[in-house]
């Protein structure tokens, strides 16, 4: 029996719909994965723009390889009126230096919060408006870094060369922009886990005090969700506990200066020679 034109059309449409649904399902993890911002474009590939390269290398630092018991506390996203002053108070009370990765527009808005309070502390670049830099092209990333760089210089009189990309995300365009502007990238090796310890802040203290190792960079935030108070309200206990373990506190730049030289790479194994010719084969009989 011959199929009707209507049944053929219905079958075709159902097949196309199923294919589209399947394709959408495979995209959902990419759109809504951890720390990803949905519906805002794809990640920037490693841009093929050799004209942007200014330095042989641009370093990316998670921690520093050192035997000295040192640790660097870092605070992202500020300054902000709710918590930046209390963080500075805690640092002052315990004589601890820290590195603040500042969002440029926040620094411009709340410059008076930090004027005169950054003596022992380091200020670094966390972009102008906190976008996902991995999704921006080279020129947009440059603008994010440059505008913040200029604001830091205007407010603090300092020249920073350290960048922490928001969310820890970066693509090829981020690295090229950092390179072209003389920046290095700094990430982290320990972080506050406020959600995990929301109902027992003392466990957050124990986690940091017991897990920090020499050369670690610790991530915290002085702007954001209220749960971050789980960490911020207990900074003093963390500082006291780490000092009891023999740790001292440094800025990220001071920590990077302690980096042990990398050992030379092992010698590569000798290359195998060309295959040896075997004995001549007897001519095949006809």
Q: Answer yes or no: 221 catalytic.
A: yes
The mean per-residue pLDDT over the stretch 3-28 comes to: 51
Residue 246 DSSP class: T
Query: pTM for the whole thing?
Result: 0.78
**pLDDT for 34:** 42
Of the residues 76, 184, 207, 216, only one is catalytic, namely 76
Least confident span in 17-26, 138-147, 158-167, 183-192: 17-26
CB 258 within 8 A of CB 70: yes
In 94-199, where does DSSP find H-type helix? 104-109, 111-114, 138-156, 172-180
Q: Is 35 a catalytic residue?
A: no
List, as one string, the DSSP characters of 51-112: GG--SS---EES----SS-EEEEEEES---TTTHHHHHHHHHHTT---EEEE-HHHHHHTHH
The architecture of the domain spanning 57-256 is Alpha-Beta Barrel (3.20)
Q: Where are the domains of the chain?
A: 57-256
- The tens digit of pLDDT for each residue in 219-260 reads 999 999 999 999 999 999 999 999 999 999 999 999 999 998
Cα–Cα distance for residue pair 211/166, rounded to 1 Å: 24
pLDDT of residue 48: 56
User: For position 36, what pLDDT does the model report?
Assistant: 45
Choosing from 121, 130, 149, 221, which is the catalytic residue? 221
């Amino acid at each position: 029996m011959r199929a009707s034109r209507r049944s053929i059309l219905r079958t075709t449409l159902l097949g196309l719909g199923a294919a589209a649904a399947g394709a959408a399902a495979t995209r959902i993890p990419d759109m809504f994965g951890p720390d990803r911002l949905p519906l805002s474009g794809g990640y920037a590939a490693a841009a093929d723009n050799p004209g942007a390269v200014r330095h042989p290398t641009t370093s990316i630092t998670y921690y520093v390889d050192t035997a000295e018991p040192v640790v660097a506390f870092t605070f992202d996203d500020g300054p902000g009126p709710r918590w930046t002053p209390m963080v500075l108070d805690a640092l002052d009370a315990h004589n601890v230096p820290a590195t603040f990765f500042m969002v440029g527009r926040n620094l411009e808005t709340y410059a008076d919060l930090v004027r005169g309070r950054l003596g022992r502390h380091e200020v670094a670049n966390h972009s102008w408006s906190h976008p996902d830099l991995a999704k921006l092209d080279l020129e947009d990333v440059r603008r994010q870094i440059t505008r913040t760089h200029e604001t830091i210089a205007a407010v603090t009189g300092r020249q920073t060369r350290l960048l922490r990309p928001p969310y820890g995300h970066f693509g090829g365009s981020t690295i090229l922009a950092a390179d072209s502007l003389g920046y290095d990238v700094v990430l982290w090796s320990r972080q506050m886990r406020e959600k995990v310890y929301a109902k027992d802040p003392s466990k957050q203290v124990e986690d940091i005090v017991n897990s920090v190792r020499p050369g670690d960079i610790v991530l915290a935030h002085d702007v954001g969700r209220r749960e971050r108070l789980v960490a911020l309200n207990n900074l003093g206990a963390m500082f006291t506990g780490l000092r009891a373990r023999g740790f001292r506190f440094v800025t990220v730049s001071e920590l990077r200066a302690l980096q042990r030289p990398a050992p030379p790479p092992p010698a590569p194994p000798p290359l195998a020679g060309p295959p040896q010719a075997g004995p001549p084969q007897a001519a095949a009989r006809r």
